[in-house]
Structure 1
Amino acid sequence: MISDIENQAFNKQLFGDDFEWGVSTAAPQIEGSLDTDGRGRSIWDVFTQKKGKVLNGHKADIACDFYNRYAEDIALIKQLNIPNFRFSIAWPRIMPDGTGEVNPEGIAYYNRIIDECIRQGVEPWVTLYHWDIPHELEVKGGWTNREVVTWFSNYVKVCADAFGDRVKHWMVMNEPAVFTGAGYFLGIHAPGRTGIKNFLPAVHHAVLCMAAGGRILRETLPNAQIGTTFSCSHIEPYSLNARDVAAAKRADVFFNRLFIEAVSGMGYPDDIKVLKRIKQYMLPGDEALMKFDFDFIGIQNYTREIVKASFLIPYIGARLVKAEHRKVQLTDMKWEVYPQAIYNVIKKFDAYPFIKKLIITENGAAFPDQISDGKVDDPKRIKYLQDHIAQVLKAKNEGCKIAGYFVWTLTDNFEWAEGYHPRFGLIYIDFKTQQRTIKGSGLWYSKFLSNI
């Protein structure tokens, strides 16, 4: 397989004709135009205004200006031979206060994006929730308020009715472990809440919303492909010491098992004592309401994590051994470059018998890209993509239910609390001029997809 890469014979034909290839984005990271055409505020709009929350004080007011440049960017997707485009719908554009009247200009905007995709021959894949709950709902408790199930259900129904005649692939939610963990436990992401008292109800309500959203889509759009996505990390213990091995297993519960097992009908893992407290937020009948049979599960992997036991870390008794302390190759996010991780998470999730199909809905890397003579040479990203795609092929050849791969991401963008520093894109953006420049990795992916 590696020799195929070296001989430039490594292309999409090795995966078969029905394997899905694409690129992924998220509305809060690319759109900008935060107060345009009736859009309400999101929790990230408010969070970025707080001092010290985002690197260098960066804000997403303009971001990649995708709100105005969507046709240009979709044309670039077509130019790069990328057949599928994953993007998210911004909840506050559709329902500015989260619960009230629908904003017709928001509906019209996403209709234009979908229609442009179809005109260009690019298949739209829609994520309904990518971390931008309306701020007005956060004032009412956000994900800690059980009413969010009703709020979210209404939003899903509006989107299904408005866009379901053309959108065939849907993802209900993006990485619930991240937005509940970073936003409602650690406080490093919006809305900046902390503590187990916020985390546990947010987890339970996110599970209920995933299942409720799936049911609404199934009832409204019986022929649609319905999925949801999870952040996944390959976890290894720092040593074979029994304490480190046990710590790695506990970390695996939070990183990988918590949401997939809850939404599949297995219930919440009971390996960790604190998770038993989640029962105080459950009502009679919730076990059934938590479950939905998805058509596909999106798994998103970038690296592996090494875990060591630690009495100092509450609830989990484990800490990550930072990659920069392990003398390994790093990305600009200080994540270890470890291609085998994506193979391992595919194998892990493939072992769940209830999963029908797996799709890598995000994988990519940030490196310190620069323009020179009008070009961006990024050989490290090319190597990263090649090596990870090779690991996906290995899993597929071993019979895993892996059916697609989407690169994160199309253009450099607003990378949450890291601001504009990390560049993940296949396309370089000069954020002062909004000039787009296709990177070497974008040209490589285009060639790979063209079977040349």
Structure 2
Amino acid sequence: MTKLQFPKGFWWGAATSATQSEGTVPGDGKGENIWDYASTHYRNRFFNGVTTAQTSRFYVDHEADVERMAAIGMNSLRTSISWSRLIPDASGQVNPEAVRFYRAVFSQMKAAGISPFVNLFHFDLPMYLQNEGGWENKATITAYAHYAAVCFEQFGDLVDHWFTFNEPMIPAEAGYLHDRHYPFVVDFKRAAQVLHNIIVAHCQGVAAFRQTQLTSTIGIIMDVIPVYPRSQNPADLKAGEMADLFYTRSLNDAILKGRYPEELVAVLQKYDQMPGAVTADELALIADTKIDLLGINYYRPRRVKARESEPNREGVFSPEWFFDSYDMPGRRMNTSRGIEIYPEALYDIAKKLDRDYPGVPWFVSENGIGIQDEEQFIKDGMVQDDYRIEFLKEHLYYLHKAIQEGSHCLGYHMWTFVDCWSWMNAYKNRYGFYRLDLATGEKTVKKSGQWFKQVVAANAIDYDVEE
């Protein structure tokens, strides 16, 4: 076994989000967001019909949950503020119960030596804004900037690191193109407008932060997914370029380089898919906006090949017009999720950042493995999740390798702390260091949580290089 030491001050923790963890209780003053609405009105789309009301109960359990974080050695946690909890309706009035709750959470975390990493938006748009057009409506950008300013004012003295958005591609791609998230629209041009407006909102959120006197940092949580073509055949390589262009560079170049890729603009103009409402002032704002810190979420690689058939040109325009997904023979799979396990990609991500987006400090803001029917691994009252430990060790090995070669990675957060509600999958797959009993609300540490405590204490992992 080899001991792989991580840099001094490395962030060891976990990530979650408000909608996925808090739940609701009578009298909390929380307004409805799109997930509250969708999980109720489209309940058949959610695994076992579990709604946002039945999440991991952080709103009522936060004091004990912070103690649980400390018990496994976590020195940081990324969570989010629920916009619809803080500002419940279109009046713009702040909910005092939300202020009390979040200040209590962040204060307790600080007292326990757990650094608050706080994200402003994790997919959960208030319904009063969605009903007026959501992210297609420029007024939502203004509302977001106001919301961000309120957060900085109310909680700025307690938060160490702010983030404007988690995976801003998802509301556009999943909600307006691929029919996975509410409002279940399938229209590329509308999706492109949503993505542009979210990027502008990010910029305005950063601008609001810069107007404060806070000494904390601000950044964003994104995917920088390496694309792996099937072969070196020029047609496969071109497929890889197009997948990267649409799903990585379209967003990341705008955020990290201050401009949209020229190749993307040319393609969208050719197929008449440019968003209609893009102003010169917005493009100038994008060019001028810089972040302090980048979070990277990684779960699976993207493998592609040249298309094997002509797309339906009469159908909805889609990035998939330019490539097919490739199921590589012999790939390792998480059969619970149906996705590939490929730890080496963390090393490739670090190299991609060094090459394409140099100079931005970053950390792994999400990485983890979701397993269905995890109760089958309970022995003596504890989930024996050796598969999770091995998954984390392998990913940390490749991350450590990149750090040794100079990558400016500052930490690693696993998804998630306690098993949480996971969008359309609800509680189908479990991800946490702690197991949640849905019937009783009991939270018990898994073997991986005990292992993680040892990792944090040593600031190192023991790894068999022959594995």
Alignment CA distance shift 1:294-1:398 (3 Å): same
C-alpha contact 2:157 2:214 (8 A) present in aligned 1 = no
Q: Where does residue 303 of structure 2 map in the other structure? A: 306
The superposition leaves residues 88-140 of structure 1 with CA deviations (integer Å, 9 ceiling, x where unpaired) of 00000011125521111111111111111122221111001011110110011
Match of 2:318 among 315, 320, 323: 315
Letter in 2 for 1:312: P
Letter in 1 for 2:311: L
C-alpha distance in 2 between matches for 1:249 and 1:35? 50
Letter in 1 for 2:449: G
TM-score (norm 2): 0.90
The 5 Å alignment of 1:15-414 reads 15-33=6-24, 36-49=27-40, 50-97=42-89, 100-272=92-264, 273-276=266-269, 277-278=273-274, 280-291=276-287, 292-310=289-307, 311-312=310-311, 314-316=317-319, 317-322=322-327, 327-353=331-357, 355-368=359-372, 369-370=374-375, 371-414=378-421
Letter in 2 for 1:282: V
TM-score (norm 1): 0.93
C-alpha contact 2:13 2:77 (8 A) present in aligned 1 = yes
C-alpha contact 1:364 1:408 (8 A) present in aligned 2 = yes
- In the TM superposition, structure 1's runs of 4+ consecutive aligned residues that sit over 3 Å from their partners are 272-279, 352-355
Letter in 2 for 1:315: S
Runs of 5+ in structure 1 lacking a partner?
none
C-alpha distance in 2 between matches for 1:98 and 1:80? 41
Identity %: 30
**Cα drift, residue 239 of structure 1:** 2.8
C-alpha distance in 2 between matches for 1:60 and 1:175? 20
**Cα drift, residue 233 of structure 1:** 2.3
Runs of 5+ in structure 2 lacking a partner?
461-467
C-alpha contact 1:297 1:355 (8 A) present in aligned 2 = no
Alignment CA distance shift 1:409-1:286 (3 Å): same
C-alpha distance in 1 between matches for 2:26 and 2:172? 26
C-alpha distance in 1 between matches for 2:148 and 2:115? 20
Alignment CA distance shift 1:274-1:44 (3 Å): farther
Alignment CA distance shift 1:62-1:243 (3 Å): same
C-alpha distance in 2 between matches for 1:104 and 1:96? 11
**Cα drift, residue 303 of structure 1:** 1.4
**Cα drift, residue 328 of structure 1:** 2.5
C-alpha distance in 1 between matches for 2:91 and 2:241? 40
Alignment CA distance shift 1:139-1:322 (3 Å): farther
Helix, strand or coil at the partner of 1:280 = coil
C-alpha distance in 2 between matches for 1:322 and 1:419? 26
C-alpha contact 1:186 1:192 (8 A) present in aligned 2 = yes
C-alpha contact 2:13 2:412 (8 A) present in aligned 1 = yes
Letter in 1 for 2:415: W
C-alpha contact 2:347 2:402 (8 A) present in aligned 1 = yes
The superposition leaves residues 213-243 of structure 1 with CA deviations (integer Å, 9 ceiling, x where unpaired) of 1111122144111110102322111233322
Letter in 2 for 1:305: R
Q: CA RMSD in A?
A: 1.9
Helix, strand or coil at the partner of 2:28 = coil
Relative contact order, higher structure (CA 8 A, sep 6+):
2
C-alpha distance in 2 between matches for 1:98 and 1:395? 47
Helix, strand or coil at the partner of 1:384 = helix
Alignment CA distance shift 1:153-1:266 (3 Å): closer
Letter in 2 for 1:288: A
C-alpha distance in 2 between matches for 1:55 and 1:238? 33
**Cα drift, residue 297 of structure 1:** 0.8
Alignment CA distance shift 1:331-1:171 (3 Å): farther
Helix, strand or coil at the partner of 1:290 = helix
C-alpha distance in 1 between matches for 2:261 and 2:286? 14
C-alpha distance in 2 between matches for 1:336 and 1:222? 41
C-alpha distance in 2 between matches for 1:194 and 1:152? 24
C-alpha distance in 1 between matches for 2:258 and 2:66? 40
Letter in 2 for 1:390: Y
The superposition leaves residues 146-169 of structure 1 with CA deviations (integer Å, 9 ceiling, x where unpaired) of 111100000000000000011121
